Every structure is written in structure tokens, then in C-alpha cells.
Amino acid sequence: MTRVLPAFLLSASLLLAALFAAAPVQAMQPGGPTNYIIDNETVQAARTGDNEKLRAALVKGVSPNESGRDGIPMLILAVGNGHLSTVKMLLENGADPDRRAPDGTTPLSLAALAGRTKIAEALLEAGANPNRPGANREVPLLIATRARHSAIVEVLIRHDVDIYDTDVTGRTALDLAEENHFGEIAALLRGAGA
């Protein structure tokens, strides 16, 4: 019996080694997989900033509010990938600037998080609500303050954002700016009356 056990362990080890050697090991890229779910051509065009394909689809009657298979609207995909010209095209063709993704993210909350000032300005000029909460019930002003994007805070102030809105703990953007020693943001908020 004592001879059978080492022979069995050796056989099992060799079998496992053969299984693992047969398949190459692939490391995942930092930040997750690099390939997206490929949607229809229109959604993919919005995601990649292919304005030519997107324009052709919009002319044919595709809705500028279309979402991908994951439920994320084309406008949010364009905002997330920093395609200002695509964002403007979608807005000019009637995209809802406040349309949410399934997790609650709005185009403006994503622009605030990513620090995309020109995109935030375009969204606000198209009628985006500066006080509409995004994911986790956070408003764009709090998101931009936490991310230390003073240019976004300035744009939001110019578009009549509620500077007294609070997070779930009751803190305002000014509270967050002062706690984190974000002097420039705190000065902007104080200048707006906070």
C-alpha cells in the first residue's frame, strides 16, 4: 500500500502538469480585459469615435439614444472614451444628455469623474441637469470635487449647480474640498457663495 500511494501522487502530478502545459498561460491586462463586447456598428462607432459611421446611421434613422447590449447609452460611451466631436454629434441629433446607464451613471457624472471639461460644457449647453445624481446618488459637483477637477467645478458653477448639495454623509463640496486641502476648489466654491 505504501508503494501505491507515491505512484498515484506521481501520476496525478504528471497529469496536472500535462494539463497546464497544454494551455498557454495568459496574463490579464491591468484594468481588465482590453476587448469590449462588440455591439452593432452604430454603438461601436459611438464607442470608438467613428463619426463617419455614426453620422450615416443617424441619417438612416437610428436613435441617438440607442444603447449597447450592456444597456449603456451611446452618449455615455462617447463621453467615457473622450470623443468630444461624437458627443456633440449625438447631442445635435437629439441624444438625451441626462440618460442613465444601468448603474445610474449619467453622461455628466462620468465627465465630472474623468475631468473632461469640454465634454461637460457641451452636455450642460445641451441641457444636462447639473444637479442630477449619477451612480451611488452622487451629484457631478461632489464627484468633480472628490476627483480634484477644479475646471469641472468651475463649469458646473457657471451652470447654476446647487453648491449646497450633500453626499450621503451630509458633506457639501466645500466640506470635501477643505477636508482634502483642495484650495483652488474651495476658493471657487466660496466665490460662488458656499
- For residues 152 and 126, membership in a common domain is answered with yes
- For residues 76 and 156, membership in a common domain is answered with no
What is the pLDDT at residue 152?
98
Q: Three-state secondary structure along the chain?
A: CCCHHHHHHHHHHHHHHHHHHHCCCCCCCCCCCCCCCCCCHHHHHHHHCCHHHHHHHHHCCCCCCCECCCCCEHHHHHHHCCCHHHHHHHHHCCCCCCCCCCCCCCHHHHHHHHCCHHHHHHHHHCCCCCCCCCHHHCCHHHHHHHCCCHHHHHHHHHCCCCCCCECCCCCEHHHHHHHCCCHHHHHHHHHCCC
- For residues 148 and 181, membership in a common domain is answered with yes
- For residues 119 and 88, membership in a common domain is answered with no
- Quick: pLDDT tens for 35-84: 455 678 999 999 999 999 999 999 999 999 999 889 999 999 999 999 99
Res 21 pLDDT > 70: no
What is the pLDDT at residue 136?
86
Q: Within a domain: residue 80?
A: yes
- Quick: pLDDT tens for 139-193: 999 999 999 999 999 999 999 999 999 999 999 999 999 999 999 999 999 999 9
- For residues 182 and 141, membership in a common domain is answered with yes
Mean pLDDT of 123-137: 95
> What confidence category does residue 10 fall into, taking pLDDT thresholds of 50, 70 and 90?
low
> What confidence category does residue 105 fall into, taking pLDDT thresholds of 50, 70 and 90?
very high
CATH number at 55 reads 1.25.40.20
Q: Within a domain: residue 10?
A: no
Mean pLDDT of 22-29: 43
Res 18 pLDDT > 90: no
Q: Within a domain: residue 76?
A: yes
- For residues 84 and 138, membership in a common domain is answered with no
- For residues 92 and 114, membership in a common domain is answered with no
